Structure 1
Amino acid sequence: MIRITLIGSGNVAQHLIKAFTKSELVEIVQVFSRKKEKLSSLIEFEKIVSNYEDLKESDLYIIAVTDNAITEVSQQLPFNNQLVVHTSGTASIETLDDKNRKGVFYPLQTFSKNKEIDFSVIPICLEADNTFDFRVLETVAKSISKAVFPINSEQRKALHVAAVFVNNFTNHLYQIGQEICEENQVPFDILKPLIQETAEKIKTLDPVDAQTGPAKRNDSNTIEAHLEYLTNENQKNIYKILTQSIQHNGKKL
């Protein structure tokens, strides 16, 4: 049984608590949170601490806080030579303080507070300074996920940038589509089967092969009609940039 302490109370920490609670291979010893009430529904209240000096010994300490706070938190830990990891997609392993053994435990997924997630399909990207610590992280990761990958800091940075494109930017485009629908009294729900099919296609096709639409077809009449229709300059600029990118097939514009 691997003993784990989680440091943080945000979305990532809360989902990890839920996942680890279901695992038979790990035990959550404690969770550090400045606001204990945020986690009281997820774990026994007596396991929640708000003072670093109250942290007990564990095999693994997982820092699940904002990127800007990782270094400060790791510096405040009142022990040495323990395995301490963060969950960031962009922060280097070197962000952690040198007084402890360092690693990364990065679940590549979008986490929302009120949306349940099946952790077994979430890719977990691991990095550690030595083989022994990596094996510990691998055991912990495989106890909650079937998709575990060794990924170094540079690769993880690339992954995170790619994730922003396929997730955050895509979701923003959903928002724009919803705004256009609402402005014209059209239910956004009509577009949801299209959104679902678009996501399903890349399970069997590369994105470049799945691409359709007026930009792909070089349908200039439709493109001009769309640009003429759009009165919001932000939407119009986004439409132009994406159209040009598709037409150039990802090459520099």
Structure 2
Amino acid sequence: MTKTDQPIADVNSSYCKSKEKSIFFIGAGNVATHLSHALLRAGYKIKGVYSRTASSAQTLGDTLGCFWTINIEELLEADIYILSIKDSVLEELLSKVILVYPQAIFVHTAGSIPMSIFHGKVNKYGIFYPMQTFSKKRAVLFDNIPIFVESSDNEVAQILFSMAQSISSQVNFLDSDRRLRLHLASVLACNFANHCYTLAAQEMEKVGLPFEYLLPLIDETAKKVHELSPREAQTGPAVRYDQNVINKQLSLISETIKRDIYKMMSLSIHQNLHD
């Protein structure tokens, strides 16, 4: 059994006093904002915040009551550095952050970046991936948010697991390969579904109807998959591939990309249910 498959019951979160560890956040976006506040409420010491954007760094730093900066050279020494930034700049910033205090634990929060990004660069590292959609203007409760942890060694596993357990009741170890697949699934279930809401809102706007009319439908669709599998909950003209309805609706769509999405989605629904 690998450490990433280790049952939660085998983890003794009292093994280390993780709340005594100081944390420095690299990034001040949606995930960093919510996660830093959750850890602060749990009793952790947030030592500082770095962001390339002064307004973002200052806003988060001030609300946390901690040091903030836009200069990597000004980072303070901390026990744990949490990199919560765009995937495209993670490796670049990591190479600079590790120069501040190489003995620290370095963690990223990305769903799609493997833990191997740390290999050969630092000795202690890990993943702290809260699987949820975050927006700065909307509060979320961390208690039921699944957090997935991966680590370089057992000591780091204990620290990260204890930290995750202090803010969430759903904490699991997960290796990078499965986390990548999980992230793909979350994009399909969240980001793609939300984009469909956007497309639907555009169609409503064309005839002067409020998007709010769709909310009971959206809510019921989400509730159903708590009791039925997504496959069992599927309804609509694509299930039986009703070409009369499908063609009539396609005739209402003027945008090429939206028409293609409708066609491919309908075909995917039908084929998935009849394979």
CA displacement at 1:218 relative to structure 2? 3.0
TM-score (norm 2): 0.84
Residue identity opposite 2:34 in structure 1: H
Q: SS in structure 1 opposite 2:167?
A: coil
Q: SS in structure 2 opposite 1:62?
A: strand
Alpha-carbon distance in 1 for matches of 2:93, 2:274: 41
Alpha-carbon distance in 2 for matches of 1:107, 1:183: 37
Q: SS in structure 1 opposite 2:178?
A: helix
TM-score (norm 1): 0.91
1:48-76 deviation per Cα after TM superposition (whole angstroms, max 9, x unaligned): 24444544443321111111221122211
1:80 aligns with 2:102: yes
Alpha-carbon distance in 1 for matches of 2:42, 2:274: 45
Q: SS in structure 1 opposite 2:134?
A: coil
1:93 aligns with 2:111: no
Residue identity opposite 2:205 in structure 1: E
Percent identity over the alignment is 36
1:37 aligns with 2:55: no
CA displacement at 1:41 relative to structure 2? 3.7
Q: Could you tell me which residue of structure 1 aligns to residue 35 of structure 2? A: 16
Aligned-residue RMSD, C-alpha: 1.9
Residue identity opposite 2:188 in structure 1: F
Q: Could you tell me which residue of structure 2 aligns to residue 135 of structure 1? A: 158
Residue identity opposite 2:45 in structure 1: E
1:57-96 deviation per Cα after TM superposition (whole angstroms, max 9, x unaligned): 4332111111122112221122223210101111111223
CA displacement at 1:228 relative to structure 2? 2.5
The range that moved more, 130-139 or 220-229, is: 220-229
Q: Could you tell me which residue of structure 1 aligns to residue 241 of structure 2? A: 218
**Cα distance change on mapping 1:60 and 1:204 into 2, 3 Å:** same
Alpha-carbon distance in 2 for matches of 1:157, 1:229: 37
Alpha-carbon distance in 2 for matches of 1:30, 1:214: 53
Residue 215 of structure 1 contacts residue 243 of structure 1 at CA under 8 Å; is this kept in 2?
yes
Residue identity opposite 1:242 in structure 2: M
Q: SS in structure 2 opposite 1:141?
A: helix
**Cα distance change on mapping 1:115 and 1:103 into 2, 3 Å:** same
Higher relative contact order (CA 8 A, sep 6+): 2
**Cα distance change on mapping 1:226 and 1:52 into 2, 3 Å:** closer
Residue identity opposite 2:50 in structure 1: F
Alpha-carbon distance in 2 for matches of 1:229, 1:50: 49
Q: SS in structure 2 opposite 1:214?
A: coil
Alpha-carbon distance in 1 for matches of 2:213, 2:71: 50
The range that moved more, 240-249 or 115-124, is: 115-124
Residue 24 of structure 2 contacts residue 82 of structure 2 at CA under 8 Å; is this kept in 1?
yes
Residue identity opposite 2:117 in structure 1: T
Alpha-carbon distance in 1 for matches of 2:32, 2:109: 9
Alpha-carbon distance in 1 for matches of 2:85, 2:173: 22
Residue 70 of structure 1 contacts residue 95 of structure 1 at CA under 8 Å; is this kept in 2?
no
The range that moved more, 231-240 or 191-200, is: 231-240
Alpha-carbon distance in 2 for matches of 1:21, 1:178: 37
Alpha-carbon distance in 2 for matches of 1:62, 1:7: 6
1:66 aligns with 2:86: yes
**Cα distance change on mapping 1:186 and 1:52 into 2, 3 Å:** closer
Pairing partner for 1:48 from 59, 65, 68: 68
CA displacement at 1:250 relative to structure 2? 6.8
